[in-house]
Structure 1
Amino acid sequence: MALNEIKKKMNSIQKTSQITNAMRLVSTTKYNSIVIESAKYDAYSQKIKEMVSSVIRPDIQYDLDASPVVDEDGNNDSLINFHSMMEVRPVNKVGFLVITSDKGLAGNYNTSILKEFRDQARKYRKDQIEVLAIGAPIAKFCRENGYHLAYERYHLSDYPSFTEVRNIIREAVNLFKDKTYDELYLCYNHSINVLVNECRFERILPISPENIRHLHEENKDKVDPQVLIEPDVNQVLDFLLPLYAQTQIYGAVIDAKTAEQSARMQAMGQATDNAEKLIADLQQEYHHERQKRITNEIIEITNGANAQVKEKKG
């Protein structure tokens, strides 16, 4: 390779490494901001789960036809009968709420989610599956592979507000109430720490003593089994069930965004490291080629000088 070509390639890779490093720093800043909120919300979510596991018990009768309550904004158009979340029925169709990222350059972030969804979807026929797609990758995957999209949402912000996610929660609950599906599963990336993410696949609907048995097991040492409920169970559920839906779905979105920034930070850091290694290799090749060229020039000069000496002697 010519020296000029090597130099141009080094300059090009150097500019790329500057971009990837800048993106790594941006992702690091975003991760440090959202991971704090994610940890706080996770603690809040665990408390809600403990409360749900203490209220929903086999020996209590629930009014599944209770009227929905007015939301905090008093908006009648957004009313949801959250008590319908407790209706257990034969499973003819299942819903998958899958959270992916619209933005790229995040390593295998989307790939791992799509693989998890594909593995879980194989347990059912395609006509049994309804997908709530968050992000373009899962929507594209479903269209290409023949899965029906019941809901689509794109371009959530890096710091999603509850207002952004409210429509997703409303749609997920209403589709269950309308019997579009009989069970709903969440599929998303969970951030364990800055270096490790894992796919999570969780059933969130319906809520019943049988379906939240694991919560009873997890919280049996935290919850008083003789807890008193006032004024009555159904009024407590009017308050508690909306919170449960919100914490499950909004919490998953926040967690997924944290994992996304973690994945992008690692991917851009790795890209920067690879660029630096490539530049070092090219620098070595450049010096080798330059040295070889100098050596060849010295040999040519020496040979020319020797030829002149021979001509003079001759």
Structure 2
Amino acid sequence: MPASLQEVKRRIESTKKTGQITGAMQMVSTAKLSQIQKHAVSYQVYAQKIRSVITHLAKSHLLDSAATGESETSQDGKINTLGMLKQRPVKKTGVVVITSDRGLVGSYNSNVIKQTMSLVNSGERNKDNVVILAIGGTGADFFKKRGYEVGYEYRGVKDIPTFREVQPIVNAIVTMYSNGQYDELYVCYSHFVNTLTSAFRAEKMLPISAENMGSDDFNTPDENGLMADYETEPSQDAILEVVLPQYAESLVYGAILDAKTSEHASSSTAMKSATDNAKDLIASLELQYNRARQSAITTEITEITGAQAALE
């Protein structure tokens, strides 16, 4: 067999093996996507409830009155979660960016990083007054290489993240805010729309206020002309100490869960595209191989016929 035919045959075999690998990876990503979507659907019920509670508290001005507290750290040294309500002059901005730890996810990471860079460089923000909190190795490595301050990084988020896994992340974020390492915090991630589509989101997480809760108007009466009001027991602060951490955890966990769903969808789509490309390449190489083989056979027949004619 001619050397050119052998080379084409090797490329066909190699591409077939690559296609088998990407096909298997597509099946794995699709299975993970199906699993995490079930978790996301059930979690959305809880997230909507806790958001509804905080919305009602904001509408009753309970958050506004609690935010007037002076201290952010309790006497026993623990974090006072009421500090999450305190508005401060913005000297430094914290940005949580959620990416994957690996590649093979199409444009998932590049889209998140590109949009996050737009946020980081908007207004008066720059490298000197922005702190990056990276969840995922791709984002951490990107901002480190470009000289940004990475104040916190978390790698190795599970394919199906658990609520317990997020709690230390939230504690670290709130501690940094309470210690004054930044004065406002945004969470940037890729929102899952459907298997083929995702949308970038940047949500303001801290400080918690009525303005960044996503409601049109917290100060208007309801249909009966009544304003929301609460009588709290045992105390206003005691209730907020329980509710506010749950709200912060719901935001971060919801963002990570949403981002992971988008990551699996992007991975599944990218591997499907790679598998389809492998099939197209194999078809092209097989056509090239058959044509070269046919040409070689034709050449051999011509040579044999010519030699026979010369002998006669």
**TM norm. shorter chain > 0.5:** yes
Secondary structure of 1:286's partner? helix
Instruction: Please say which of residues 235-244 and 18-27 is displaced more in the overlay.
Output: 235-244
Uncovered stretches (5+) of structure 2, i.e. residues with no partner:
none
More displaced stretch, 224-233 vs 103-112 = 224-233
**Residue number among 247, 251, 263 corresponding to 1:248 in the alignment:** 251
Q: 2:79·2:178 contact (CA, 8 Å) conserved in 1?
A: no
Contact 1:34–1:258 (8 Å) recurs in 2: yes
Q: Tell me how far 1:108 sits from its aligned partner.
A: 1.0
- Correspondence for 1:3: 5
- What does 1:293-312 correspond to in 2, within 5 Å? 293-309=296-312
| 1:196 corresponds to | 197
Report sequence identity in percent.
38
Say if 2:103 is the partner of 1:104. yes
Aligned twin of 1:94: 93
Q: In the alignment, is the contact (CA less than 8 A) between 2:184 and 2:207 conserved in 1?
A: yes
Per-residue deviation at 1:140?
1.2
Is 1:186–1:201's contact at 8 Å kept on the other side of the alignment?
A: yes
CA distance in 2, matches of 1:7, 1:108: 32
Deviation by residue 1:150-179 (Cα, 9 ceiling, x = unmatched): 111111111122222111100111111111
1:227 Cα deviation from its structure 2 partner: 5.0
Distance 1:242 1:101 in 2: 25
Return the offset for 1:86. 0.4
- The gaps in structure 1 that reach 5 residues or longer are 70-75, 310-314
Report if the CA contact (8 A) 1:97-1:131 is conserved: yes
Indicate the residue corresponding to 1:72 in structure 2: none
Question: Retained in 2: the 8 A contact 1:110–1:137?
Answer: yes
* Residue 143 of structure 1, CA deviation: 1.5
* Residue pair 1:68, 1:238 contacting (<8 A) in 2 also: no
Q: Deviations over 1:186-215 (max 9, x none)?
A: 011111112211111111111123333x32
Q: 1:9 to 1:59 in 2, by over 3 A?
A: closer
Number of the residue aligned with 1:167: 168
The offset of 1:262, in angstroms, is: 0.6
Normalised TM-score (structure 2):
0.89
Residues 1-314 of structure 1: matches in 2 within 5 Å?
2-57=4-59, 59-60=61-62, 61-62=65-66, 64=69, 79-123=78-122, 124-212=125-213, 214-217=214-217, 225-231=227-233, 232-309=235-312
Equivalent residues of 1:49, 1:215 under 8 A apart? no
Q: Which residue identity does 1:111 align to in structure 2?
A: S
Code of the aligned partner of 2:264? Q
- Alignment partners' CA distance in 2, 1:216 and 1:29: 38
Letter in 2 for 1:302: T
4+ aligned runs moved over 4 Å, structure 1: 65-69
After superposition, the C-alpha distances for 1:217-250 in whole angstroms (9 at most, x for unaligned) are 59x889x843534325333322211111010001
Q: Say how many residue pairs are matched.
A: 300
SS in 2 for 1:307: helix
Once the two structures are superposed, residues 73-100 of structure 1 have per-residue CA deviations (whole angstroms, 9 ceiling, x without a partner) of xxx99x5321111001111000001111
Single out whichever of 16-25 and 162-171 deviates more from structure 2: 162-171
Q: Secondary structure at the match of 2:103?
A: coil
Check conservation: 2:59, 2:228, Cα contact below 8 A: no
Please give the per-residue CA displacement for 1:234-273, whole angstroms capped at 9, x wherever unaligned.
3332221111101000111111111111111111111111
The alpha-carbon distance between structure 1 residues 217 and 10, as it changes in their structure 2 partners (threshold 3 A), is: farther
What letter matches 2:291 in structure 1? Answer: H
Bigger mean CA offset, 185-194 vs 51-60: 51-60
Moved more, 160-169 or 249-258: 160-169
